[in-house]
Amino acid sequence: METLNVLALSGSLRKNSYNSAVINALKILAPDHVEVEVGEIGDLPLFNPDRENEKIASLENLKAALKASSGLVLATPEYAHGISGPLKNALDWLVSSLEFPYKPIMLINTSPRASHAQAHLREVLTTMSGRIVEEACVSIPLLSSGLDSDGIVNDKDIASVLQVAFKAFCDDIQACR
Ligand SMILES: Cc1cc2nc3c(=O)[nH]c(=O)nc-3n(C[C@H](O)[C@H](O)[C@H](O)COP(=O)(O)O)c2cc1C
């Protein structure tokens, strides 16, 4: 079977982040033919349109990873009813990129009460012409669970929800090729 490359980004820079944990768990849970690359957004400079034509190594890496991927997985915390600053910053850098439009997107919400950030994220992604794959969007109650990526992988119920959603994501990508 042809290998599928997927880029996954966490909107949290926190060491013990649930959003990063779920992204790392997805990498472990992914089927053999799917390679999940965990991208880095914490080293991007603050977005400045004046710098869009500069060669910025962290941005070049992110764009290259996005170009090489057939889909994008996003997990973000909610801060003050919006998405995280680091994720918004990364998305702002990608607004005028050729790699982003029509990219299939899976959303993982690690806190079901955080509905504002999800609505905000959907608005931003839709404006950027991303293609949110609804069957692949999941809400998993990780807040206060104490689970790290291994804990998520070993939690049968959570792992199963992630795997079912990720399969729907990969099936959608392959069907649309
Ligand atoms: C400054 C700050 C603001 C927050 N605002 C909200 C909020 O508006 N709504 C919410 O549901 N959670 C809010 N939270 C809780 C975070 O979304 C939650 O701790 C989340 O797990 C952080 O993600 P992480 O574990 O991936 O770092 C806030 C946390 C912080 C530190």
Ligand 1: centre distance to CA 1 (Å): 40
- With residue 21 as reference, give the H or E element that holds it: helix 18-29
The pLDDT assigned to 2 comes to 83
Per-residue pLDDT tens over the stretch 113-154: 999 999 999 999 999 999 999 999 999 999 999 999 999 999
Check pocket membership of 19 for ligand 1, CB cut-off 6 A: yes
Pocket test of ligand 1: the residue of 20, 78, 145 to mutate, having most ligand atoms within 8 Å of its CB, is 78
Per-residue pLDDT tens over the stretch 60-77: 999 999 999 999 999 999
Q: Which contacts qualify for 157-164: CB closer than 8 Å, 24 or more apart?
A: 159/25, 159/29, 162/22, 162/25, 162/26, 162/29, 162/108, 162/138, 163/29
The pLDDT assigned to 177 comes to 81
Instruction: Count how many residues are written for the chain.
Output: 177
Q: What are the structural domains, with CATH classification, of the chain?
A: 4-175 (3.40.50.360)
Residue nearest to atom 2 of ligand 1 (CA): 79
The mean per-residue pLDDT over the stretch 102-114 comes to 97
Structure tokens belonging to residue 10: 């966490």
Q: How far apart are CA 86 and CA 9, in angstroms?
A: 10
Residue nearest to atom 5 of ligand 1 (CA): 79
